[in-house]
Amino acid sequence: MWISLIGSIELFSNHKSFSLQIDTKRNLWFLLHFKHLEIKSKSLFYQVNNGVRQRKSTMHPVRKMQKKFKNTLELLDYIDYKPYDILRLEIEFTNGWKIKQQPFIYFRFYTNSTDERNELINKLISISGQDPVDILSLKENLTYFYRGSDKYELLVNDDELPSPDEFWSKQKRDDWIKAVTKKDYKEEVQEEISDHSDNSFISTMDIDFSANDNNNEPWNIDNDDNDEAPF
């Protein structure tokens, strides 16, 4: 369970875009902070969900919204009282910015420059009530998680590979796939070796017990050398 509005941040490799981990189903109102921008185009797919009043066997189709809106305020006003699950939302503004929703966990923000990106990050972090983030200390394509302290932390190993984004070239993506495959194989081998070294169980299936059996007869209490009663 998140204790903050923004759970993580990741910078993309084009130096102008980033993503924020946000519960987009509950916090679609976050888009109100862009109501001053004019919408150039949008792509919105939704599905009717009547909650407890809807039969379990009922499955409404996924539809694309055709209605046009001038800004995010009009958009949110329209869908506010609609029983819709927003499955995909992409908005392009006339100033060149874009917002993409990754249901139901991320918003991706696209600006025109590094300065615009940094300014927007600082604004959105401030809106969330969280402490400022040191943007210059963040590495691209690595996810930094907010842990309710005073900063975002990179909770990965030093050899953690970055995550590819849509701006990577085919060559860079191919090299990444090779590196991931090599890393996964190395970890698999190390885990297998560790499993063998930690295994202290010894099977008795192949042990010959006949060497300790003097008469080669099954042992039972009646064949005990001590004929005296035990009590």
Question: Tokens representing 129?
Answer: 């009530």
Assigned domain for 115 exists: yes
Assigned domain for 231 exists: no
Instruction: Write out pLDDT tens, residues 76-109.
Output: 999 998 999 999 999 999 999 999 998 889 999 9
Residues 118, 20, single domain; the answer is yes
The pLDDT of residue 192 is: 67
Between β-strands 39-48 and 152-153, what pairing exists: parallel, antiparallel or unpaired?
Answer: unpaired
The pLDDT of residue 161 is: 82
Determine the Cα–Cα distance for residues 228 and 114; give it in Å rounded to an integer. 95
Residues 190, 83, single domain; the answer is no
Residues 153, 173, single domain; the answer is no
221 vs 107: which has the higher pLDDT: 107
- pLDDT average, residue stretch 161-185: 90
Question: Exposed, middle or buried by CB within 10 Å (0-12, 13-18, 19+), for 154?
Answer: middle
Residue whose token pair is 């975002």? 152
Q: DSSP character for 228?
A: S
Last residue of a domain, one of 99, 128, 157: 157
The pLDDT of residue 1 is: 46
Residues 56, 28, single domain; the answer is yes
Does the pLDDT value for residue 204 go beyond 90?
no
Q: Do 17 and 108 meet the contact criterion of CB atoms below 8 Å apart?
A: yes
Residues 89, 182, single domain; the answer is no
pLDDT averaged over the chain?
A: 83
Residues 90, 191, single domain; the answer is no
Hey, what amino acid is at 43? S
Using DSSP's 3-state secondary structure scheme, residue 224 falls into coil
Does the pLDDT value for residue 19 go beyond 90?
yes
Reported pTM = 0.76
List 88's β-bridge partners, or say none: 45
Residues 40, 124, single domain; the answer is yes
The pLDDT of residue 206 is: 52
Assigned domain for 49 exists: yes
pLDDT-based confidence at residue 117 (cuts at 50, 70, 90): very high
Last residue of a domain, one of 137, 157, 177: 157
Which range of residues forms the domain containing residue 195? 169-199
pLDDT-based confidence at residue 149 (cuts at 50, 70, 90): low
Question: Exposed, middle or buried by CB within 10 Å (0-12, 13-18, 19+), for 27?
Answer: middle
Does the pLDDT value for residue 51 go beyond 90?
no
DSSP character string of 125-147: HHHTTPPP--GGGPPTT--EEE-
- pLDDT average, residue stretch 183-196: 68
Question: Tokens representing 89?
Answer: 């939302």
- pLDDT average, residue stretch 129-140: 89
Show the DSSP H helices in the chain as ranges. Answer: 72-79, 114-127, 170-197
Residues 79, 145, single domain; the answer is yes
- pLDDT average, residue stretch 215-222: 46
Assigned domain for 163 exists: no
- Contacts of residue 189, defined as CB under 8 A and 6 or more positions apart, other chains included, come to none
Does the pLDDT value for residue 68 go beyond 80?
yes
